[in-house]
Structure 1
Amino acid sequence: EMLYKLYPVFLTRHSLVFEAMLSLPRIHCILSNSIVLHGNIWQEFDHLLCYLHGCDSELERQEFLTSILKLSEFYQIDSGFWYAVTRLKDLLPAVFKPSLKLQLGRQFQIHEWVEPSFCVMMEHQPISSISHLKAHHMGMVYFWIIVTTKAQIKEHYRALAYTKPALDQSNDC
Structure 2
Amino acid sequence: MTNFSFLKEKPTYALFAPACVEAERIFAASPAMCAVGCRKALELAVKWVYAADTSMEMPYRDNLQSLLHEPSFRFAVDRNTWGKLPFIAKLGNEAVHTGHNIQKGDALLCLQSLFEFVQWIDYCYGTAYQERKFDPARIPAEKIAVDVKKIKEQESLLDEKQAEIEKLRKQIEEMSARFTAEKDQHK
TM-score class, shorter-chain normalisation, is: under 0.3
TM-score (norm 2): 0.24
TM-score (norm 1): 0.25
Which structure: greater helix fraction?
2
